[in-house]
Structures are given as C-alpha cells and as structure tokens.
C-alpha cells in the first residue's frame, strides 16, 4: 500500500496554504471544503482548490479533498470540482452507513462519465459518530474505491457525550474498531487530528501510541508536525538491520530447501518475514536506504 503517514489538512479558503502546502512534503495534501470554510466562502474556496489541483506543483503530490455532505447545497458542486481537477481521493465527512459511501460513489461515477476521464477517484470515509463506529466493518468492505477509513475524533466524542483528553481513553474503542475494520477489509486506517498544536510532547506521545496500535498514519493541521510524525514512523537502524537479516535468512532457506528458519535461537515464520519486508519498505520510502541496499 502507498505510504500515507501524514495527511495535512489545508483550509480551502486559505490562499497561502492552498498555493504552497506541497512544500511541506506531507504524504497527502487534504484540501478542506467543509468545516474550515465559512458559508460565505464556500464557492470561492471550491474554485481555488480546483485551480490548485490543476496546477503543475501538485501533480507529483497525492491530493485529497474533504467535501461537504451530499445533502448540503455544496456537496455535489464540491465533488464535480474535485473530480474535474483530477483529485486522487475524496474524503467523505460523517460516514455513518454504507449508503453514505454508495451515494457518494454514484455521484463521483456520474462526474467521471460526464468528463470522460479514465481515472478512478478513490474514497476515504471519515468515521465521526457512534453509529459510524458500529458500522465500520460494513463501511470498510462496501466499495472497491475505498482506500481507507479515518477517525474524526471531535465529532465522535461529542456524539458519545464526553470530551477529548490527553490520554485518549475516550477514543480507545473507536480506534480499535476502525483499525480492525480496515485490516479485515485490507484497506488503510488513519487517526484523527491532535487538536492542541502547541503540545509537542502530547503529539509525539499520541503518534507513538497510534503507530503501536497499527494505524497507517494521522491527519494533521500543523505543517510543523509532519517531520515529527515521519520521524516516529521511520524504522530504527536496529530494526532495519534485523529486517535485512530476516530476509537474507529466508532467501537462504528457500534456496536450500530448508523448512525451518532460526535467527539467534528465534524461529522465523511468515508473519515475521512480512514484518521485515514492511520495515525495509518503510526505510526505503523514508529515504533511509536506497533501492539497491542489501
């Protein structure tokens, strides 16, 4: 799967950010046409995002657009502008059921047919309610366009009648359900924004937690958080060395017809080999090693 550690939210009405967000080098730039845009600016923000998507500066960066709900006056217009602009991913807000996905997919398909594009726009579902969490497994499996599901923590904690804490205890059940649903469907899982942009220590702690849980990445609102997140997700040199040792041992065993692999007295089986392969992939995509390194 594509490396998507960081998804940087960019307010669609913020001219400077829309024009320059690519310079921060997030894995994905997420233009926001929903919550961060005032009603009076919806149309101008949509137009600005459309032109950004068409600009050459964003052709080598994965782009996503968080659109307004379909039942709002802006949802259909947002989708048409995003698809015409060549966006890679459309993020659905407040996904509660599979119907939310299928309805959005239908609108996207109509736009794709109308403009004659062969590009298949992907979908990212934002789970932001108790109902969405309960339905996460069905949501994750309902469309081949769905590349991932993401937790929207602020709306979720409001829905379950609590509040955000630094420890994140209130998000434990939702994170577990979303992660398991994504893995069962073989798609990616993304954690929510860390709301206090001034709290570097809290941010680092939360990123370490969600990485250890198994999340593929995290949504961000502050570009300064990108390098910290990428650094935490990068494997250590010790992990890289171990991964190469595992791969070398596995290749030696295969070449010599050996059924059992052991390194330093520890049995090495398929899950450990797969983990080693992912470690090397992360190291290469993080620029820590080259394609020819062994």
- Share above pLDDT 70 across residues of the chain, in percent, rounded to a whole number: 97
Q: Are residues 156 and 214 in the same domain?
A: yes
Indicate if the pLDDT at residue 262 is higher than 80.
no
Q: Taking each helix axis from N to C terminus, what angle separates 225-233 and 200-213, rounded to the nearest 10 degrees?
A: 40
- The structural domain count of the chain equals 2
Token couple for 84: 């015409």
Q: Are residues 253 and 274 in the same domain?
A: yes
Residue 122 burial class via C-beta count within 10 angstroms: exposed 0-12, middle 13-18, buried 19 and up: buried
Phi, psi (rounded to 5 degrees) for 96: -105, -35
Task: Compute the CA torsion angle 158, 163, 168, 169 (nearest 10 deg).
Answer: -90
Indicate if the pLDDT at residue 294 is higher than 60.
no
Q: Which of 17-21, 99-103, 173-177, 237-241 has the lowest mean pLDDT?
A: 237-241
**Sequence-ordered alpha helix ranges (H) in 55-96:** 75-85
**pTM given for the model:** 0.89
At 121 the pLDDT is 98
Task: Name residues whose C-beta falls within 8 Å of residue 61's C-beta, 6 or more positions apart in sequence.
Answer: 22, 28, 29
Q: Are residues 159 and 268 in the same domain?
A: no
Is 293 part of a structural domain of the chain? Answer: no
Is 292 part of a structural domain of the chain? Answer: no
Q: Are residues 34 and 69 in the same domain?
A: yes
As a whole number, mean pLDDT of residues 119-138 equals 98
Q: Which of 80-94, 124-138, 273-287 has the lowest mean pLDDT?
A: 273-287
At 282 the pLDDT is 84
Q: Which residue has the tokens 């068409």?
A: 54
Cα 20 from Cα 52, distance rounded (Å): 9
- Distance from chain centroid for Cα 257: 40
Range of the domain at 91: 6-233
Indicate if the pLDDT at residue 161 is higher than 70.
yes
Q: Are residues 35 and 171 in the same domain?
A: yes
At 219 the pLDDT is 97
At 272 the pLDDT is 85
Q: Are residues 35 and 100 in the same domain?
A: yes
Mean pLDDT of the chain: 93
Token couple for 228: 């910290």
Indicate if the pLDDT at residue 81 is higher than 70.
yes
At 269 the pLDDT is 79
Q: Are residues 53 and 22 in the same domain?
A: yes
* Listed residues 195, 217, 233: the one ending a domain: 233
Cα 233 from Cα 236, distance rounded (Å): 9
At 291 the pLDDT is 64
Is 11 part of a structural domain of the chain? Answer: yes
**Sequence-ordered alpha helix ranges (H) in 143-269:** 153-159, 172-185, 200-213, 225-233, 237-255
Q: Which of 88-97, 190-199, 251-260 has the lowest mean pLDDT?
A: 251-260
Contact 62, 73 (CB under 8 A): no
Q: Are residues 92 and 200 in the same domain?
A: yes
Q: Are residues 163 and 267 in the same domain?
A: no
Contact 217, 192 (CB under 8 A): no
Residue 27 burial class via C-beta count within 10 angstroms: exposed 0-12, middle 13-18, buried 19 and up: buried
At 275 the pLDDT is 85
- Distance from chain centroid for Cα 77: 24
Q: Are residues 168 and 218 in the same domain?
A: yes
As a whole number, mean pLDDT of residues 96-125 equals 97
List residues bridging with 31 in a β-sheet.
10, 65
At 218 the pLDDT is 97
Is 1 part of a structural domain of the chain? Answer: no
Task: Name residues whose C-beta falls within 8 Å of residue 70's C-beta, 6 or more positions apart in sequence.
Answer: 76, 103, 104, 107
Q: Are residues 177 and 269 in the same domain?
A: no
Report pLDDT digits (tens) over 202-241.
999 999 999 999 999 999 999 999 999 999 998 888 889 8
At 259 the pLDDT is 67
> The CATH number of the domain where 163 resides is what?
3.20.20.60
Beta strands in the chain (DSSP E): 6-11, 28-32, 62-66, 89-92, 122-127, 146-151, 188-191, 217-220, 261-263, 266-268
Is 253 part of a structural domain of the chain? Answer: yes
Is 291 part of a structural domain of the chain? Answer: no
At 271 the pLDDT is 81
At 169 the pLDDT is 94
Report pLDDT digits (tens) over 20-54.
999 999 999 999 999 999 999 999 999 999 999 99
């Amino acid at each position: 799967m594509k490396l998507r550690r960081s998804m940087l939210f960019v307010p669609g009405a913020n001219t400077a950010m829309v024009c320059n967000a690519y310079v921060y080098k997030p894995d994905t730039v997420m233009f926001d046409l929903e919550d961060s845009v005032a009603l009076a600016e919806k149309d101008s923000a949509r137009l600005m995002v459309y032109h950004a998507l068409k600009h050459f500066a964003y052709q080598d960066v994965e782009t996503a657009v968080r659109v307004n709900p379909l039942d709002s006056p802006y949802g259909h217009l947002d989708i048409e502008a995003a698809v015409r602009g060549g966006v890679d991913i459309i993020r659905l807000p407040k996904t509660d059921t599979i119907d939310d996905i299928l309805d959005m997919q239908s609108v996207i398909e109509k736009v794709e047919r109308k403009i004659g594009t062969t590009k298949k726009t992907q979908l990212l579902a934002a789970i932001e309610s108790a109902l969405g969490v309960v339905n996460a497994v069905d949501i994750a499996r309902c469309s081949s366009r769905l590349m991932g599901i993401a937790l929207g923590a602020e709306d979720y904690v409001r829905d379950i009648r609590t509040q955000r804490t630094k420890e994140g205890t209130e998000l434990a059940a939702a994170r577990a359900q979303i992660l398991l649903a994504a893995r069962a469907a073989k798609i990616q899982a993304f954690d929510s924004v860390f709301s206090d942009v001034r709290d570097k220590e809290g941010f680092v702690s939360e990123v370490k937690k969600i990485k250890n849980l198994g999340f593929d990445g995290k949504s961000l609102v502050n570009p300064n958080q990108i390098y910290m997140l990428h650094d935490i997700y990068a494997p250590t040199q010790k992990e890289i060395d171990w991964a190469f040792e595992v791969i070398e041992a596995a290749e030696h065993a295969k070449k010599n017809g050996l059924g059992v692999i052991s390194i330093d007295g520890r049995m090495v089986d398929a899950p450990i080999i797969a983990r080693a392969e992912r470690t090397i992939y992360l190291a290469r995509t993080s620029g820590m090693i080259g394609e020819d390194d062994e």
